[in-house]
């Protein structure tokens, strides 16, 4: 009996040793990647290069694409024509604003401040303005960094610090986008009606908005034609930028990878258009015009400023004001 048990143990032990030897000996029977005709075949690589999709369990076929050739086209356009043209436009508009300031100077209240104020924007209107404007400033700064930072900021900060800055900026960009969309809804609800075309707009256009010559003050209601143009640009372009941005946050919602690449280019190009418009808006609202900035800070403006730039609106407000007791 003991001999039988010993023979069984020797047999089991021998089979255990034989398995690694057999496995090791069979490794040469399995073709490596370099030996596989399916991998090294020029036809197969050509198919992959042309975008033939592989298989990923539980995923759409489009996500199995190993090499997407359009990505190289997208990258070259984004880092080439888009970045170059956008950069020159930003520089050109900034220089044009600076030239206008030095030639025209700050637009002053010709009669000087009256010392009397009038409510220009209510608290809810100012909240709507700053929801949109504040979030846009964050979006513009972080977006321009994504577009130009690698060439302008990275050489100064170094790769490590720039990568952290861009990573944080990306999250700020995503969060600020939702604040911006909320601001769009608020200002559309509050101001859409006041920004429709009226009979004073053509006169404002012919008079250059009173910006080109001293002593020229075309009458305007609550918003003049320039402000209306700015408003509808923000609403329309802002809605397009928001919709493309949402698709980038939730990939493949509205299209495949190629559609996302197109949307990213549209998103970036329209965002640059908004920045170009907003540069002029910021200029007029700050150093370009005396008395304009308080409209969105305290809500009140000097009555002389209001009469010079929005005479029709002032008349409407004064008609509704209670008369002083005689």
Q: What is the pLDDT of residues 47-63, one digit of tens each?
A: 666 666 676 766 666 66
| pTM as predicted | 0.80
Distance CA 260, CA 251 (A): 7
Distance CA 301, CA 305 (A): 7
Mean pLDDT, range 274-291, rounded to an integer: 95
Q: What is the pLDDT of residues 220-238, one digit of tens each?
A: 999 999 999 999 999 999 9
Q: What is the pLDDT of residues 63-112, one digit of tens each?
A: 677 777 778 888 999 999 999 999 999 999 999 999 999 999 999 998 78
Question: pLDDT-derived band of residue 15, with 50, 70 and 90 as boundaries?
Answer: very low
Q: Half-sphere exposure of residue 190, counting CA atoms within 13 Å on the CB side?
A: 19
Which residues are paired to 65 by β-bridges?
53
Question: Does the pLDDT value for residue 199 go beyond 70?
Answer: yes
Question: Does the pLDDT value for residue 288 go beyond 70?
Answer: yes
Q: What is the pLDDT of residues 22-33, one digit of tens each?
A: 444 444 444 444
Question: Does the pLDDT value for residue 299 go beyond 50?
Answer: yes
Closest Cα partner for 308 from 295, 320, 292? 292
Question: pLDDT-derived band of residue 17, with 50, 70 and 90 as boundaries?
Answer: very low
- The DSSP call for residue 51 is T
What pLDDT shows up at residue 86? 96
């Amino acid at each position: 009996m003991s001999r039988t048990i010993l023979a069984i143990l020797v047999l089991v032990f021998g089979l255990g040793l034989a398995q690694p030897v057999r496995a090791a000996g069979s490794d040469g029977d399995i073709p490596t990647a370099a030996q596989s005709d399916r991998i090294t075949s020029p036809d197969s690589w050509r198919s992959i290069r042309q975008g033939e999709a592989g298989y990923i369990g539980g995923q759409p076929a489009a996500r199995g694409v190993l090499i997407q050739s359009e990505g190289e086209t997208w990258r070259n356009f984004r880092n080439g024509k888009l970045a170059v043209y956008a950069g020159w436009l930003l520089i050109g508009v900034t220089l044009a604003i600076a030239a206008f300031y030095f030639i025209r100077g700050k637009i002053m209240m010709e009669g000087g401040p009256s010392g009397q104020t009038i409510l220009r924007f209510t608290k809810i209107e100012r909240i709507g303005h700053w929801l949109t404007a504040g979030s846009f400033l964050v979006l513009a700064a972080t977006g321009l960094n994504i577009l130009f930072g690698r060439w302008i900021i990275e050489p100064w900060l170094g790769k490590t610090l720039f990568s952290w800055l861009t990573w944080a900026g990306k999250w700020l960009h995503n969060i600020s986008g939702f604040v911006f969309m909320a601001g769009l809804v608020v200002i559309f609800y509050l101001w859409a009606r006041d920004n429709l075309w009226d009979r004073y707009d053509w006169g404002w256009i012919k008079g250059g908005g009173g910006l080109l010559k001293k002593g020229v003050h075309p009458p305007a209601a609550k918003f003049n034609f320039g402000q209306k143009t700015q408003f509808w640009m923000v609403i329309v372009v802002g809605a397009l930028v928001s919709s493309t941005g949402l698709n980038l946050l939730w990939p493949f919602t509205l299209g495949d990878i190629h559609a996302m690449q197109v949307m990213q280019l549209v998103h970036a190009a329209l965002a640059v258009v908004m920045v170009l418009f907003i540069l002029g808006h910021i200029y007029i609202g700050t150093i370009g015009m005396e008395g304009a900035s308080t409209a969105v800070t305290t809500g009140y403006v000097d009555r002389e400023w209001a009469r010079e730039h929005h005479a029709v609106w002032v008349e409407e407000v004064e008609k509704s004001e209670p008369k002083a007791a005689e």
